[in-house]
Structure 1
Amino acid sequence: MWIMKPPLGEYYDVNGRELLLHREGSGAPAVVFLPGAGAVGMDYWDAQRRAAAFTTSVFYDRAGTGWSESVDLPRSSAEVTDELDALLRSAKVPGPYVLAGHSLGALYARHYASRFPDKVAGLVLMEPAHEDYRAYMPRELVERWDAWDPADALPDELPGEILEFYRVLFEQETADWPADLREPLVDSHVSREWLLTGIREAANIEAVRDEIRAAGPLPDVPLIILTALAIDPFKQAVSAGVPEKLLQAENDGKTRLYNEFAASVPRGENRIVEDAGHVTLPFRRPDAVVQAIRDVLAL
């Protein structure tokens, strides 16, 4: 279902589909926020508005997600990055861009940079999905992931207590936001449709990883990774039954991976964020996100 009348943004036609994009600020390079799977552009509003104080700052919803028009999911990374390129042209957002990608959005950001190197001035990757992530994880944790069946993740009827649990979590993370933004965002996040969208979009993650592997090197641009280490209620909710020692081992593994990833490019850096988790990073530490954007622009 395509939910009309979002709290922020305008619609732009891209290949016959109406896509939501919100922009503030002025100047270049523009920063563009790429949401993770299950996230939407407005989740990055706090960081996006702060970045608008010093440059053009944009968030958007991919087709089939958030308040943009529906499309069958999943899609290839080539489709997603072609769409982003067309949307930025349609919305007349000046390039080159600093791409701020979160989780799955970080894979798309890297793919865009590899495909359109002249259009990218820098990368800020928040808790990035990575093609080698599993190789850095303990075997027991990987086996647990392999045993998880996404078909069982969302039954036809979600228990009210589960929905209320997620509602409270999202309300806590957006407690200081204006009510006209917070309320529709939280209501939509706890809808079955939006919960399913995150699962559907990431269903072809192995194919997307293969696209990244085949894409070639990144351009020589500044890269800052933000690694969030808090095992917060969101992480606990999606990791139910996983012992804390394994969650700590995941943190150790991803820190090693991101350190090596940052060291593999000429101007790369991995920054540790202790007081936020994978989902909550843009909500709890927009200041860390914006500082990384400032620093990428300065390099």
Structure 2
Amino acid sequence: MRRFVSLNNKQMEIFQQGTYGTPILILTGMGCSFDEWVEVAEALSKTNRIIMFHRPGLGESEIEVENRTTTSTVEEVHRLLAILEIAEPVVMVGHSYGGLCAQHFTKIYLHEVRALVLVDSTSHDLEKLDVLDLPVLNQNFSDEEWLEDCQANADLTEKELRKIILPILTENQKRLPLPVQERLINFQQKPNLYKAMKSEAENWKADAKIIKQLGPFPDTPLLVIGRDKEYVIQQGVEEGLPEAELLLLENTWEQLIKEQAELSKMSRVTFAEKSGHSIHLDRPDYIIEAIQETTASMKLN
């Protein structure tokens, strides 16, 4: 199920499961392993072919000195589908930053996408989050400090990084099989991960503008899934964060999610109760059912 292909003269780590049915391609979020999706992949593989891959720098996928952009990912996906000899349109699932890449891909290669599922996806209007008055949240989670940390980690050897990065799995990740848990820990202790994240984060705002300028979105069947605003606010308050700032942030994020449903005339939007940003971990049952309903509806049309 896990293997490697050569793409752009570099080794790319991929995951495949299932032998028949419409292919489902899952694009993970920034800095996220496809191992987080094993529960979803296992369920969907009973009726569909599942394809996931680690972008350059993630997992065992090689990275050199190139900038990491949504354009890079779009072309890698296009080539990967050709390498895997997948000629029919796929159901594309994109989470967070992966959702931004999926939107870009759908605009460029619309005939290769049968349906699109955006899971708490980054919006092409993400700059609206930058103007929010969030002094405490911005102080605790400064983009500049995060990028500096990424660069510092990227400059270390793997041996050095393992001494300072001691990953703690979430309760949801601890439910996954032990070999998966081990891979998730190792995933976070590789310098190239931070090299890739820094590059993707430095470019994503420019990428978003490029995606908007590509013109109207095709009328592709579109399912938009968002997180539970009240649940996220409650979790944040319990961690000692200011409720007013959390409310402002989550109201804006929710509006951006709703606006994504306006991309296509063939769309619907839904919100996963009791779920934060990682819906595939908080509510894998919700993701599985939503994608199954999407693929079932395509068979009827």
Q: Give the TM-score category using the shorter length.
A: 0.7 to 0.9
Displacement of 1:207 after TM fit? 1.5
- In the alignment, the residues of structure 1 paired with residue 162 and residue 82 of structure 2 have an alpha-carbon distance, to the nearest angstrom, of 43
Q: Distance in 2 between matches of 1:248 and 1:107?
A: 24
Give the whole-Å Cα distance in 2 for the aligned partners of 1:47 and 1:285: 10
The verdict on how the C-alpha distance between 1:134 and 1:151 changes in structure 2, with shifts beyond 3 A counting, is closer
**Counterpart-to-counterpart distance in 1, 2:272 and 2:261:** 15
The equivalent residue for 2:182 is: 183
2:142 pairs with 1:144: no
* Contact 1:12 1:91 (C-alpha < 8 Å) held by counterparts: no
- Spell out, residue by residue over 1:222-258, the C-alpha distance to the aligned partner (whole angstroms, 9 max, x if none): 111111133389x85xxx9852321222221222222
1:140 and 1:242 map into 2 onto residues whose CA distance is 14
1:216 alignment partner, SS class? coil
1:112-261 to 2 correspondences below 5 Å = 112-135=105-128, 139-141=132-134, 144=138, 148-149=143-144, 150-154=146-150, 163-164=165-166, 166-169=167-170, 172-191=171-190, 193-195=192-194, 197-229=196-228, 230-231=231-232, 243-261=242-260
Aligned-CA RMSD value: 3.0
Q: Structure 1 residue 19 and structure 2 residue 20: aligned? A: no
Calculate the TM-score normalised by the size of structure 2.
0.83
Identity %: 21
TM-score, length-scaled by structure 1: 0.83
How many pairs were matched up? 284
Residue in 1 aligned with 2:64?
71
Q: CA deviation at 1:40?
A: 2.1
Structure 1 residue 196: Cα displacement: 5.1
String of CA shifts for 1:171-204, please: whole Å, max 9, x gaps. x222222212221222322555535542332221
User: Is the 1:123–1:296 contact (alpha carbons within 8 Å) kept by the matching residues of 2?
Assistant: no
| Secondary structure of the corresponding residue to residue 124 of structure 2 | coil
Within 2, Cα distance between the matches of 1:284 and 1:199? 26
| Structure 1 residue runs without a partner (length 5+) | 1-7
What are the equivalent positions in structure 2 for 1:11-50 lying under 5 Å apart? 11-50=4-43
Gaps of 5+ in 2: none
